[in-house]
Chain A
């Protein structure tokens, strides 16, 4: 058992990348759930998208032998860029109107 584990540790393969991405996903989810600042929530979402991309590339490298995972990862990056631009524009607008970006204080639909 111990022997297996040390041997597993010495040869990084598919499951190593998947576990790193799983931990990164958990960190991002924790930031989304607990942070009050909207920009910190956005940073958590970026971590989640990065962990998903690691998964796509790991499966593309270790199971399919094609580049479809790379293409999906490119589209994820494109959408992440669009999402960050829109979300930060909305956050800036909220800050001008309410003078705060804490998500738990933004409970009005009109000011």
Chain B
């Protein structure tokens, strides 16, 4: 078992264990902090897939941005005076059936398919290539994404603003 396999299993374990805590924890703050470790583990998997730029982006945007946003949401919508941080679940049994069928199907397909993999060596430094592709073949999606971000941020600020009762 070489070092690559050991590191892969370590990051896969971190990701899946933290994901399980997110899903099964009763305490929403514990779930939010477990989400941090899940994102971190996914960033590690990105590194193992030779996606260095994506790994850093994952850490910056997910851990630094989205997770903080989620934590603000948790803090602002929980009745902290009553310490009502617990969340309950609904329709657990049918959900277990559906998710078990889904997971079984997905893993069965992933396991049994004979994937045609390439033997080419992976691209080493991805950031220059990504920048080049973003300004050539992916220019239109790039511009649309910038407009979408602008609209989303203005819209979020408008929606979240506390309106004055007239």
Partner-B contacts on A (CB < 8 A)? 9-20, 22-31, 33-37, 39-40, 42-44, 46-47, 50, 53-54, 57-58, 60-65, 67-68, 70-71, 73-75, 77-86, 88-93, 95-96, 101, 104
- Is B81 on the interface with A (CB-CB < 8 A)? no
CA distance A44 to B31 in the complex (A): 10
Sample of 10 A–B contacts (CB below 8 Å): A15-B111, A16-B12, A20-B15, A29-B98, A34-B95, A50-B42, A61-B51, A81-B66, A82-B149, A89-B160
CA distance A35 to B54 in the complex (A): 30
A14 CB to closest chain B CB, in angstroms? 5
The size class of the interface chain B forms with chain A is 35 or more
Q: Which residues of B contact A86 (CB under 8 A)?
A: 152, 155-156, 159
B66 CB to closest chain A CB, in angstroms? 5
Q: Is the CB–CB distance between B77 and A92 below 8 Å?
A: yes
- Chain A to chain B: the 8 pairs with minimum beta-carbon distance, closest first: A82-B152, A89-B160, A22-B106, A26-B103, A33-B95, A89-B159, A18-B110, A89-B156
Instruction: Give the A-B pair count, Cβ closer than 8 A.
Output: 231
* Complex partner residue of A39 from B74, B120, B157, CB under 8 angstroms: B74
Apart from A14-B115, A30-B23, A88-B160, list 14 A-B contacts with CB within 8 A: A26-B99, A26-B106, A30-B96, A30-B99, A35-B90, A40-B28, A40-B31, A44-B22, A64-B118, A67-B129, A74-B134, A81-B149, A83-B152, A85-B152
Q: Is the CB–CB distance between A91 and B120 below 8 Å?
A: no
Closest chain A residue to B20 by CB distance? A27
Residues 34-52 (chain B) with a chain A CB within 8 angstroms = 35, 38-39, 42, 45-46, 48-51
Closest chain B residue to A11 by CB distance? B5
Q: Is the interface of B mostly helix, strand, loop or mixed?
A: helix
Q: Is the CB–CB distance between B5 and A57 below 8 Å?
A: no
Closest chain B residue to A22 by CB distance? B106
B11 CB to closest chain A CB, in angstroms? 9
* Complex partner residue of B76 from A27, A46, A62, A92, CB under 8 angstroms: A92
Closest chain B residue to A9 by CB distance? B5
CA distance A40 to B31 in the complex (A): 8
Q: Are A33 and B99 CB-contacts (below 8 A) given A27-B19, A71-B133, A82-B149? A: yes
Return the CB mask of B38-72 against A: 1 if under 8 Å, else 0: 11001001101111011001100110011001101
